[in-house]
């Protein structure tokens, strides 16, 4: 029988200690999320019903449902995605596959990083100046969605660029050796193998756009609008702003109502993220490398 050396025992103890430390850090990150979800379910669960989801707010938003705000949030997220995802993917393709490594591209990368750190209220003021006033869209779904799209554009660009660069260079070289052009290689080989990473950026964008309040408050969301928008140039209610209003601006609101709105907002984000994650896992399972 061989006995473990003293330094091996010491290394094993250190490794076990580090493992426990990382497990504790993970638990500290997950525990607040579980507490928040449990609180929302406990206090907001009694407010959830079919009528709550499908009816309009009444009696000064103290009663009724959240249907206009729910539909308005879907409008805002969908239009923001339609704007930012194609533009962000195109920018990432240029930076990853076409642009040379020079001062110009380094300035662009620095600008993307800085744009990601700009506070949302600054994006709101930009949206007012650029989309509401300069382009003449007025306070509308289009102006609010474009503001949200600009705000989340860096997330899409960074996630897409990282996923493109993760595709092995050998894949590109094999296509070039077969006579394929650069664009044919990107379209047929690089992008299909990077879709799962691109979806990561989309997931992060959905999460952020669903919960933002300041950008839409100044550009397109309405305080109270008990009917559905008919076009992109109409105003709309939104769950995030509705939650802010009934929590801080409307007196006498039942306690379960704000928690119910927050629970629906969280559930909607989790549902959209779960669908995206499931699709991403499916695509990763089809990879051959």
Neighbouring C-beta atoms of residue 165, cutoff 10 Å: 15
- For the chain, state the CA radius of gyration: 24
Task: Work out the angle at residue 5's Cα, subtended by the Cα atoms of residues 3 and 10, and round it to the nearest 5 degrees.
Answer: 125
Residue 43: count of CB within 10 angstroms of its CB: 16
- Summarised one tens digit per residue, pLDDT across range 137-176 is 999 999 999 999 999 999 899 889 988 988 888 888 888 8
Q: How far is CA 209 from CA 1, 60, 263, in A?
A: 62, 26, 16
What are the structural domains of the chain?
50-283 (1.10.3720.10)
pLDDT at 2: 55
Please give the average per-residue pLDDT across 271-281, as a whole number. 80
> Over the stretch 21-75, which tens digit does the pLDDT of each residue have?
999 998 888 888 899 889 999 998 888 988 899 988 888 888 888 999 999 999 9
Question: Is the torsion defined by CA of 38, 222, 81, 120 positive or negative?
Answer: negative
Q: ∠ CA 36-41-45 to the nearest 5 degrees?
A: 150
Residue whose C-alpha is closest to residue 228's, from 4, 36, 18, 74: 74
pTM for the whole structure: 0.85
CB 206 within 8 A of CB 172: no
Beta-strand pair 57-58/63-64: antiparallel
């Amino acid at each position: 029988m061989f006995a473990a050396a003293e330094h091996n025992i010491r290394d094993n103890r250190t490794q076990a200690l580090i493992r426990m430390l990382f497990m504790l850090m993970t638990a500290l990150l997950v525990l607040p999320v579980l507490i928040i979800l449990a609180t929302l379910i406990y206090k907001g669960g009694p407010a959830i019903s079919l009528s709550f989801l499908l009816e309009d707010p009444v009696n000064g938003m103290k009663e009724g449902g959240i249907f206009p705000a729910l539909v308005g949030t879907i409008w805002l997220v969908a239009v923001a995605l339609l704007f930012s995802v194609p533009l962000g993917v195109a920018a990432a393709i240029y930076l990853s596959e076409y642009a040379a490594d020079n001062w110009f591209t380094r300035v662009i990368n620095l600008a993307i990083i800085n744009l990601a750190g700009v506070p949302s209220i600054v994006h709101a003021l930009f949206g007012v100046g650029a989309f509401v006033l300069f382009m003449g869209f007025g306070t509308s779904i289009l102006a609010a969605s474009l503001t949200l799209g600009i705000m989340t554009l860096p997330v899409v660009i960074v996630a897409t660029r990282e996923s493109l660069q993760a595709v092995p260079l050998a894949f590109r070289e094999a296509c070039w050796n077969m006579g394929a052009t650069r664009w044919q290689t990107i379209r047929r080989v690089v992008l299909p193998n990077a879709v799962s990473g691109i979806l990561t950026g989309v997931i992060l964008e959905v999460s952020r756009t669903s919960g933002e309040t300041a950008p839409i408050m100044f550009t397109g969301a309405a305080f109270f609008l008990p009917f559905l928008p008919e076009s992109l140039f109409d105003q709309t209610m939104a769950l995030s702003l509705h939650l802010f209003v009934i929590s801080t601006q409307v007196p006498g609101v039942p306690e379960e109502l704000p928690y119910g709105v927050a629970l629906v907002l969280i559930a909607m984000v989790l549902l959209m993220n779960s669908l995206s994650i499931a699709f991403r896992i499916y695509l990763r399972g089809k990879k051959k490398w």
